[in-house]
Structure 1
Amino acid sequence: MAASSSSQGSQGKETTDELLARLNLQEEEDDDFVWEEELPDLGVPAKWLAIARVHTSRTFSPNALYGDMRAAWNPARTVVWRKIKDNLFTAQFGCLGDWNKAMAEGPWLFRDQAVIMVEYDGFKKPDSIKLDKLAVWAQIHRLPDNFLIEPAVRGMESRIGDVEEVQLKLPAGFFGEFVRVRVKIDINAKIKRFVTCKKGDERVRYQIKYEKLPVFCFNCGECGHWHEECGDGVHDETKFEWGEFVLADNVRYRQPGRGGFGSQRGRGGPRNAGGRGKGRE
């Protein structure tokens, strides 16, 4: 009897995909419900709806996330959050201004970890949506004059991600020999430190600096942890191939330590240049 009870308990915890793989469906269970044919057109598609996750494997309180994002965005209208499952949420914005700020003025950090958001239509299976790209502002330093044209900059920066915007002329508050590019990087890839340009037989590398990054590892160059959490945490720091040098000069930095998930914090530039949003002020 006990064995039977245990078997029933384990079956009750099976996921939908596991059940579908194990069970033979009845004809009625496998009969498709077709939205377009069986329901009238509702007329109002989902708008200002995002799906989001935090790039961390650690547990956290959803209410803490909601509160930190509310502090960072300071929305004019209430943002309605819904938890889909652990570390997967939807956020419904109430006006265009709040939507544009949240979607275009990041990256946003929660406890120094990246909050990744994309637009969501409200219909697709949430688990099918890839949340692996983070939009950041990157600086390419000391480009020669002949490369200071948008096609050349886009071509170089496309090697590190999907280019969204190029600023050849620096906004107010920025000074230096660099151009700014807003680019979507793969959050699971190693942070790129250089772009390479080849013209004829000459091959030159130009350094990239990021205006704001989530916590990243000086040992392996990946986001989401720092070096004391990489492997067994014991490393020769003189051999680190990543470090503060990937952060732009207008970024304040602190070593990982207590608090939150424990970490570095990169903060963006002037608020009028797309550098706002720290998670918690």
Structure 2
Amino acid sequence: MEDITNRWRKLKLTDKEAPEMKLTKISTKENTLAGKFFTKRKLSIEVGACTFRNIWNTEKNFEVRDLRENMLLLIFKDEVDLEWAIKQSPWTFDKYLVALQKLDEDKSIESMSFNSSPFWVQLHNIPLRMMSKENAEVIGSTIGKVEEVDVLVSGQGYGRFLRVRVKVEIGQPLCRGRLVDLEDRDPIWGAFRYERLPVFCYKCGKLNHNERDRQGKSKSRG
């Protein structure tokens, strides 16, 4: 879909509309997030605010404003609470994903796109001698943008699997794993397990709908 800037360039402007206006920049100095609820039912601001206040239990209160289309503006009194909410994501409502995004002061609300969300992904079946931060980043980069790797200070992995936090594209099928080249042995299947995974479709692998949703769409078209 074309953005607003591209659309107005194609319009024939009147004498009042054509001159460009200069606006003064201000700094909001607010700790603000926008949240997009991917639930299939219409969300009220009261339900959204109550949900977040119950599950977050922040040290200080935060203000909630309705942006419509299942979007809320969350204004925090304390930046620590905001960073904690992002760090602990992904969040869900009705088992559907809630995507959070920091506001960019140089962009409008309408131009915001909620097309990705961070997930902790477990990388299973990786041989002990290859469980390292470097290898986790290599594998994780095939899933999305790597944000963090859960390893020891030395960079060595530990436990039964590697953990890597990556930004996953919401509109793309989830990657189930990768073939891992062991050089001196046959390749093995490195299986991925997504922590706190919301509703997704086992058939197409995409988030925010399941087979029941697909069946509902098919019936409505019929």
Structure showing the higher strand proportion among its residues? 2
Q: Which residue of 2 aligns with 1:139?
A: 122
CA distance in 1, matches of 2:209, 2:40: 10
Matched, 1:106 2:94: no
> Number of residue pairs matched?
209
- TM-score by length of structure 1 reads 0.66
Report matched runs for 1:54-69 at 5 Å.
54-69=37-52
Cα drift, residue 21 of structure 1: 8.2
What's 2:22 paired with? 34
Q: Structure 2 vs 1, CA of residues 57 and 23 (structure 1 numbering), >3 Å: closer, same or farther?
A: farther
Structure 1 residue matching 2:73: 3-state secondary structure? strand
User: What's the CA shift for 1:169?
Assistant: 4.1
Q: Once the 2 structures are TM-superposed, how far is the Cα of residue 60 of structure 1 from its aligned partner?
A: 2.2
154, 167, 173: which one aligns with 2:150: 167
The two structures, once aligned, show a CA RMSD in angstroms of 2.8
Structure with greater Cα Rg: 1
Match of 1:25 among 13, 16, 19: 13
Distance 1:199 1:27 in 2: 68
Partner in structure 1 of residue 110 of structure 2: 127
Q: Given the two structures, how large is their TM-score scaled by the length of structure 2?
A: 0.81
Q: In structure 2, how many angstroms separate the alpha carbons of the residues matched to 1:196 and 1:165?
A: 22
CA displacement, residues 129-180 of structure 1 (integer Å, 9 cap, x when unaligned): 221111111111121133222121101111111111101249xxxx941011
Q: How does 1:144-159 map to 2 (within 5 A)?
A: 144-159=127-142
Q: Any stretches of 5+ residues in structure 2 without a counterpart?
A: none
The question of whether the paired residues in 1 share the 8 Å contact of 2:136 and 2:163 is answered with no
Alignment equivalent of 1:53, drawn from 24, 36, 40 = 36
Could you list the runs of 4 or more consecutive aligned residues of structure 1 that deviate by over 4 angstroms after TM superposition?
Answer: 19-23, 199-202
The 1:203/1:24 distance shift into structure 2, 3 A limit, reads same
One-letter amino acid matched to 1:223: L
Distance of 1:214 and 1:100 partners within structure 2: 21
Q: In the alignment, is residue 198 of structure 1 matched against residue 181 of structure 2?
A: yes
Shift of 1:92: 1.0
CA distance change for structure 1 residues 92 and 232 in 2, over 3 Å: closer, same or farther? closer
1:115 equivalenced with 2:98 (yes/no) = yes
Cα shift readout 1:238-264 (whole Å, capped 9, x = no counterpart) = xxxxxxxxxxxxxxxxxxxxxxxxxxx
Distance of aligned partners of 1:76 and 1:190 in 2 relative to their CA distance in 1, 3 Å threshold: same
Residue of 204, 215, 220 corresponding to 1:220: 204
CA distance in 1, matches of 2:35, 2:217: 29
Would the alpha carbon gap of residues 97 and 26 (structure 1) be closer, same or farther in structure 2, given more than 3 Å must change?
same
User: Which sections of structure 1, spanning at least 5 residues, go unmatched?
Assistant: 1-15, 235-281
C-alpha deviation, 1:20, in angstroms: 5.1
Superposed CA deviations along residues 40-86 of structure 1, whole A, max 9, x for unmatched, are: x64x4444211221124432222211110111111222211222232
Report the counterpart of residue 229 of structure 1 in structure 2.
Answer: 213
